[in-house]
Each structure stands twice: as structure tokens, then as C-alpha cells.
Amino acid sequence: MIIVLFTLGFVAYGSYTLFEKLQWTVTNFKGDPIPYSLGAFIFFAFIAYVFFSPVQTPLLSFMPLLYVTTIWVLGILDDIFGTTYPKGLKGHFKQAFVTKKPTTGVLKAGGTFIITLAVVFAFQPTSLQEFVRYILLLLLIPHGMNLFDTRPLRVWKLAFLFIVAFLPVLFYLPFDVLLYFVTVFYIVFVMEGHKKAMLGDNGATTVGAIIALVVIFHTGVTQQWIIALLFTAVTFLAERTSFTSIIERHSLLRLLDQIGVSTQE
């Protein structure tokens, strides 16, 4: 695991350089073109952890790997070929209905729904409630994390909050595994906080996909329902208002939002 850890910095820098060379960038809220390479870095970090971690984990099975891979592929395709508008699920489906052509957002939503169904059936839920719960978690957490990815480090902070609030078991992992996670978090924190690279759709949805799987495998039923209902509310709320506008109206949220984000232009 330690050997894999030393590759993280090279992969982060290499993916950043490659995306910049290919002009796989998106204009951020400041109007600057930023490579969305951190998604590729996180996807690599996840795959490396699954195959080289000394900890036994159900994430090693085929369907979770297929799920995360599919979510990342759908995200990177949307980043490369997608357009700035329309916004939101409603906007994408409305435009697809009017133009009779599916947008990349619609294709991503459809692909996510299909892979979610496939994974849930593979998990063989024992009740209708479990089936619905898994559907909500696998479908809405990636989407919900993507909704928050409009400013640097928002997804990072949400992921950290999940670890603290719902997944304290991570703090009991072996030292080398914990160091691996800390290194991944640190690299993303520095590169995104200094506006050198961003997650993009591919990164935000991949983070959400990983969290969804960890929630299913490592939290209880009550916690799963809380998270599922929370992201259901987030999804409906996002169609009616802007999270950025909510944050800007509250000084405490605005302060938290600015933590770690470089003020240098």
C-alpha cells in the first residue's frame, strides 16, 4: 500500500498535465479555464485502493467496480462533450423533449439509472424497503454531490463531513491505509483549493458513487435512510433554488465555503 501511495502525486500531476494539454478544461466561476483532472485522479486512487489494500472489503467485488467505473465514464463524457446549458435534470429533459435529441445530461442520467438497477439486483435486496433504499443511495448521492460542485472544495468538505458524521470506522483502519486516504484528501485539497484543477462532473459523481457504496456496506439501516432522504431533498431543492445563493445569504455558510480556497488570482 505504501508503494501505491507514492504514485498518487505523480498520477495527480500527470493527469493534470494531460488534461491541460488536451484542453479538457472548463471555465470556473472566476472565468478561468481549469482542467477537470481530479476526477481521473480520484478514480485511479479508488481502483488502486480496491486492488492493493490489505483490508478486506466488499468493494473488491465486480459490480461495485463496474458501478464506479460506469459513473466515472459517464461523467467524463459529459465533461468533454456536454454544454454549459441547460442546467438541472428538468432543464436537460425539457431540452431533449423540445429538440428530440438527448443531451449528454440525459444520457448520463439514463446510464446512471441503468447501472444502478443492475447493481441493486446484483446485491439481491431482501425486501422492497431495502431495494428502494439502495436505489436512492446509488442514484442520488452521485447526482447530489455533482449539484454542490459549483465552487472549489465543496464536494471535499461534504465528503469529509460524511467521514466524521457517518463513517467513523475509517479512523480505525491500519496506518498505511489511513495515510493513503489522508494523502488523497490532501492532494485534492491543495490542487482544488488553489484552483489548479477541479473535479468536474466526472470527479464529483465518482466521489458520490464511492460514498454511496461505503454507506451501503458500512452503515446501518437508519443511517442509510437518513442519507437517502437527505439527498432526495437536495435533489428536489436544487430544481427550485441555487445552493450558492443560499450560502451567500448566510455568513456562517459563506465562511465555511471559503475555508481552504486560495484568494490569490
pLDDT in 10s for each residue of the chain, 265 residues = 788 899 999 999 999 999 999 999 998 877 889 999 999 999 999 999 988 888 877 877 889 999 999 999 999 999 999 876 666 666 656 665 666 677 777 888 899 999 999 999 999 999 999 999 999 999 999 999 999 988 899 999 999 988 888 767 766 778 888 899 999 999 999 999 999 999 999 999 999 999 999 999 988 999 999 999 999 999 999 888 888 888 888 889 889 999 988 876 5
Residue 25's SS3 state is strand
Which of 214, 201, 239, 241 lies closest to 111 in space, CA to CA? 201
CA distance 88 to 52: 37
Q: What is the pLDDT of residue 58?
A: 81
- What number of residues does the chain have? 265
Q: What is the pLDDT of residue 30?
A: 76
Q: Following DSSP, what letter does each residue of 102-171 receive, concatenated?
A: --HHHHHHHHHHHHHHHHHHHH--SSHHHHHHHHHHHHHHHHHHHHHTTSTTHHHHHHHHHHHHH-GGGG
Q: What is the pLDDT of residue 12?
A: 96
Element holding 96 (H helix, E strand): helix 88-99
96's grid cell: 431533449
For 133-172, b/e burial (b = at least 16 CB within 10 A) is bbbbbbbbbbbbbbbbbebbbbbbbbbeebbeebbeeeee
Q: What is the pLDDT of residue 239?
A: 80
The partner residues of 33 in beta bridges, in order of sequence, read 27
Q: What is the pLDDT of residue 57?
A: 76
Q: What is the pLDDT of residue 139?
A: 96
Q: What is the pLDDT of residue 36?
A: 95
Q: What is the pLDDT of residue 162?
A: 85
Q: What is the pLDDT of residue 265?
A: 55
Element holding 55 (H helix, E strand): none
Q: What is the pLDDT of residue 122?
A: 94
Q: What is the pLDDT of residue 22?
A: 95
